[in-house]
């Protein structure tokens, strides 16, 4: 019996009573709908998944693609990024780019791509005794809370994004992959499936806002950074081993807490998912 439980007032839901390995199309349609409605979907208790199980389930959401960070790919499965693996270098020093991956600020994954990631999905293999949560927040709420004048002003503007953004944070990329040409996305972006508008923004990847003078653009980036997170529109996930969490990069921001004891393991498999027709949806909904 599938049950969907809301985790926060505007964002986050948990699906109970499923095994992702044996979900039929009708059940998957419930899962997918719950995900679209809540931006972040949690499935707990999926212990002992094999990589193939995780990939098969992930592909039902869209096109699973290898992430540009080649050094953190699984050696046999390029579509799987390993999070929290090889944290210590040969000299025993903690590699901060791995330990604090995703913790430098609120962001959305893949804004540096012409077609950003639709979704990111994580599976928890090892969870530390404390810390290591993931925080989420709604882009819809950020848009809704913008003053009318600002909404109107931003409506026609696109942002230029690259992987490293203004800080050129490219430590996890190979040398030859660091030269990114900026891509452009509307700052007010309409979600292709829900039709709702969100504040599509990522302070770590945006270079500038098209059509604004440099100073104006920097000020606007500053202002929008302060408007991303709205009270009551957040969800904080406390991981347990066997959890699967998928978030919608088209309508949510996230960040890792980056605060767990470094000597402990915090390991996830991650997939990056792009848009394409969703298997089983045509008949199921
Ligand atoms: O490890 C986490 O909690 C999330 C890291 C992150 O930002 C990502 O995987 O995209
Ligand atoms: Fe991320």
pLDDT in tens, 82-138: 999 999 999 999 999 999 999 999 999 999 999 999 999 999 999 999 999 999 999
Here the tokens at position 152 are 């109107």
Nearest-CA residue for atom 9 of ligand 1: 102
Q: Is the beta carbon of 266 within 6 A of some atom in ligand 1?
A: no
Q: Is the beta carbon of 127 within 6 A of some atom in ligand 1?
A: no
Predicted local distance difference test score (pLDDT) of residue 174:
81
| C-alpha 122 – ligand 1 centre gap (Å) | 8
Q: Is the pLDDT of residue 51 over 60?
A: yes
Which residues are bridge partners to 41 per DSSP?
13, 246
Tell me how far apart the alpha carbons of residues 261 and 271 are, in angstroms, rounded to a whole number.
25
Please, where are the H alpha helices in the chain? Answer: 25-38, 51-59, 96-99, 139-144, 148-154, 214-225, 281-284
Q: Is the beta carbon of 68 within 6 A of some atom in ligand 1?
A: no
| C-alpha 30 – ligand 2 centre gap (Å) | 25
- What sign has the CA pseudo-torsion 19, 20, 25, 27? positive
Lowest mean per-residue pLDDT among 79-83, 85-89, 279-283? 279-283
Q: Is the pLDDT of residue 72 over 50?
A: yes
Q: Is the beta carbon of 14 within 6 A of some atom in ligand 1?
A: no
Tell me how far apart the alpha carbons of residues 258 and 132 are, in angstroms, rounded to a whole number.
6
Q: Is the beta carbon of 62 within 6 A of some atom in ligand 1?
A: no
pLDDT level of residue 283 (50, 70, 90 thresholds):
very low
Q: Which residue has the tokens 């504040």?
A: 199
Count of C-beta atoms within a 10 Å radius of residue 213: 10
Predicted local distance difference test score (pLDDT) of residue 166:
85
């Amino acid at each position: 019996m599938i049950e969907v439980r809301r985790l926060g007032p505007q964002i986050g839901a948990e699906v109970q009573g499923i095994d992702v390995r044996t979900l039929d199309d009708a059940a998957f349609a419930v899962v997918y709908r719950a995900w679209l409605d809540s931006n972040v979907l949690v499935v707990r208790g999926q212990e002992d998944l094999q990589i193939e199980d995780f990939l098969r389930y992930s592909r039902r959401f869209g096109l699973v693609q290898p992430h540009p960070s080649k050094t953190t790919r699984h050696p046999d499965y390029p579509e799987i990024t390993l999070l929290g693996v090889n944290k210590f270098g040969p000299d025993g020093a903690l590699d901060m780019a791995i330990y604090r991956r995703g913790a430098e600020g609120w962001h959305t994954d893949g804004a540096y791509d012409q077609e950003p990631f639709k979704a990111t999905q994580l599976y928890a293999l090892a969870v530390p005794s404390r810390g290591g949560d993931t925080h989420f927040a709604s882009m819809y709420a950020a848009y809704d809370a913008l003053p009318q004048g600002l909404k109107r002003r931003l409506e026609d503007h696109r942002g230029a994004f690259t992987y490293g953004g203004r800080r050129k944070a490219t430590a996890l990329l190979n040398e030859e992959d660091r030269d990114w040409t900026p891509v452009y996305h509307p700052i007010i972006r309409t979600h292709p499936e829900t039709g709702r508008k969100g504040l599509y923004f990522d302070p770590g990847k945006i270079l500038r806002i098209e059509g604004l003078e440099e100073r104006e653009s920097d000020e606007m980036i500053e202002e929008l950074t302060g408007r991303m997170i709205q009270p009551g529109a957040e969800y904080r996930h406390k991981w347990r081993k066997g959890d699967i969490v998928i978030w919608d990069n088209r309508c949510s921001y996230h960040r890792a807490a980056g605060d767990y004891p470094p000597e402990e393991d915090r390991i996830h498999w991650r997939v990056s998912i792009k848009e394409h027709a969703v298997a089983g949806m045509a008949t199921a909904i």
